[in-house]
Structures are given as structure tokens and as C-alpha cells.
């Protein structure tokens, strides 16, 4: 067994275990984190296929952005696990049929002679100076430019639609327009009042003004 085969089986084992964990974990946060692990190991598998651009993009997009938002939402949910499991036996027959179909289909693909992977030859090793990123970019922007542009526009429409669906004016909105905040003048906030100065009225002078006789008496008695 070569070193690469060993790495492949190692990554595949981790991938299968973590993918099983995603659907069996009771805690949704654990499930989301296991999904992160699954993405990460599958990007390792892509690296083994020398598809470094796709592998790094998988980590960048799914691990770095999509799953962060997933976790963001999952952590804020207060999920009642018991209620989620209530309908288990009711949905089992339907789910079982779908699962069986999937297993049969996968088995047919993996074992059949005409479409099976047994006959697919191992790809020849690529020249080391070949840049996948460059090749991919060249293909996307020349040969497949129209499908690529259409996909981009569909994504843009999805973004606009998502924003339009959630955009609403709330009654208790505390939004402040930054332009008006910056445009505030001193006179809007502070009023400077001009007035004549007044004599200071502190405790000592108040006491002496009220009882001048006592004060002088006290002073005279001290040296004696």
C-alpha cells in the first residue's frame, strides 16, 4: 500500500464517520461541526486528486463562510429534540424506501460494467508546472463563458430576492441616517447662554454673614 493510498483510506474513514455523525448527532451544533469536518476531509481528498484550486475553494466557501452562517443560526435556535423525533416511526416507511432506492442506484453505478469505476484508468500524473487555477480560469472565461455568466446572474437574482424578501420597515426601527449624524451643527445640540457673573455663595461666607458676632468671639478666644 503506497503512502497516497494510506492517506486516501484515512481521509475516507474520517469522512464517512463524520458524515454519519452529522445525521446521528443529537446536538445540532455538534452536527454542524461534524459537517465542517466532513467538508474539510473531502477537500483533502480533492487535494489527493491534484485539484488544489477546488479543494481550497471548498474550504474557503463552505467551511469559511457557509458553515459559519449555519452555526450562527443553529446556535440561536432553541431546538426541542424530543419533538423532532416524534414522527420517526410514521415517516420511517417512506424514508426507508427512498434510502433503499439510493443504495440500489449507488450499488449499480459502482458495480456495473458499462458505467462502473472499475474500468476507469488512473489519470496520468500531470506536469508539475501546470497551474490548475490558470487552466480553470481559462476554460471558464473562454469555452464556458455563457454558462458561467448565466450562473452568476442567477446567483445575483437569488441575492436580490433574498434581500427583498427580508427587507421590511420595522416600527421600532432605531436606524439613524449617517449623513444627518455627520451634518449636525454645534447649535443643534448645545445652547450657550450669556449672563452676568454672580458672587460666590459658599458655606463659610454664609455662616459669617449670618452670625458675625459668634465668629469674632471664637477668633478672640483662641489665643487666650
Partner 1 sequence: MSAILQPIVNLGYSLQALFAAVLVAVFGNEAAPYILYAVKTLLLILCIVVPLMLSVAYLTLWERKVIGWIQLRLGPNRVGPMGLLQPIADGLKLLVKEIIVPSGANKLLFVVAPLMAIMPALAAWAVVPFEPEMVLANIDASLLYIMAITSMGVYGVIIAGWASNSKYAFLGAMRSAAQIVSYEIAMGFALVGVLMAAQSLNLIDIVKQQQSAFGVFGWFWIPLFPLFLTYLIAGVAETNRAPFDVAEGESEIVAGFHVEYSGMTFAIFFLAEYANMILVSFLTAIMFLGGWLSPFPQSWGLLGQSSFLWLLAKAFIVVSSFLWFRATFPRYRYDQIMRLGWKVFIPVTLVWILVLGAWMQTPLWVWWKGT
Q: Which is nearer to partner 1, 5 or 133 (CB)?
A: 133
Task: Kindly state the smallest distance separating residue 222's Cβ from partner 1, in Å.
Answer: 46
Task: Kindly state the smallest distance separating residue 45's Cβ from partner 1, in Å.
Answer: 16
Task: Kindly state the smallest distance separating residue 176's Cβ from partner 1, in Å.
Answer: 8
Query: Which H or E run contains 46?
Result: helix 28-48
Task: Kindly state the smallest distance separating residue 10's Cβ from partner 1, in Å.
Answer: 16
Applying CB under 8 A, which residues contact partner 1? 3, 29, 33, 36, 52-53, 56-57, 59-60, 63-65, 68-69, 71-72, 75-76, 131-133, 178
Q: Is 196 exposed, middle or buried (0-12, 13-18, 19+ CB in 10 A)?
A: exposed
Task: Kindly state the smallest distance separating residue 146's Cβ from partner 1, in Å.
Answer: 20
Q: Which is nearer to partner 1, 19 or 47 (CB)?
A: 47
What is the rounded distance in angstroms from the CA atom of residue 62 to the CA atom of residue 71? 12
Q: Tell me the helices (H) and strands (E) count for the chain, helix number first.
A: 12, 0
Q: Which is nearer to partner 1, 176 or 195 (CB)?
A: 176
Q: Which is nearer to partner 1, 6 or 214 (CB)?
A: 6
Q: Which is nearer to partner 1, 15 or 70 (CB)?
A: 70
Amino acid at each position: 500500500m503506497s503512502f497516497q493510498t494510506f492517506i486516501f483510506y484515512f481521509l475516507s474513514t474520517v469522512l464517512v464517520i463524520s458524515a454519519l455523525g452529522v445525521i446521528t448527532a443529537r446536538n445540532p451544533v455538534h452536527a454542524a461541526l461534524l459537517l465542517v469536518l466532513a467538508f474539510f476531509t473531502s477537500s483533502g481528498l480533492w487535494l489527493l486528486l491534484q485539484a488544489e484550486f477546488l479543494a481550497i475553494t471548498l474550504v474557503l466557501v463552505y467551511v469559511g463562510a457557509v458553515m459559519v452562517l449555519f452555526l450562527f443560526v443553529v446556535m440561536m435556535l432553541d431546538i426541542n429534540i424530543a419533538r423532532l423525533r416524534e414522527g420517526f416511526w410514521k415517516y420511517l416507511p417512506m424514508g426507508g424506501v427512498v434510502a433503499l432506492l439510493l443504495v440500489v442506484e449507488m450499488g449499480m453505478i459502482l458495480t456495473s460494467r458499462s458505467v462502473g469505476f472499475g474500468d476507469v484508468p488512473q489519470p496520468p500524473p500531470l506536469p508539475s508546472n501546470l497551474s490548475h487555477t490558470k487552466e480553470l480560469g481559462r476554460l471558464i472565461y473562454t469555452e464556458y463563458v455563457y454558462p458561467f455568466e448565466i450562473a452568476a446572474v442567477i446567483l445575483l437574482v437569488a441575492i436580490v430576492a433574498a434581500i427583498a424578501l427580508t427587507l421590511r420597515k420595522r416600527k421600532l426601527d432605531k436606524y439613524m441616517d449617517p449623513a444627518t449624524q455627520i451634518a449636525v451643527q454645534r447649535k443643534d445640540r448645545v445652547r450657550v447662554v450669556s449672563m452676568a457673573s454672580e458672587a460666590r455663595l459658599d458655606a463659610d461666607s454664609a455662616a459669617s454673614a449670618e452670625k458675625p458676632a459668634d465668629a469674632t468671639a471664637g477668633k478672640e478666644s483662641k489665643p487666650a
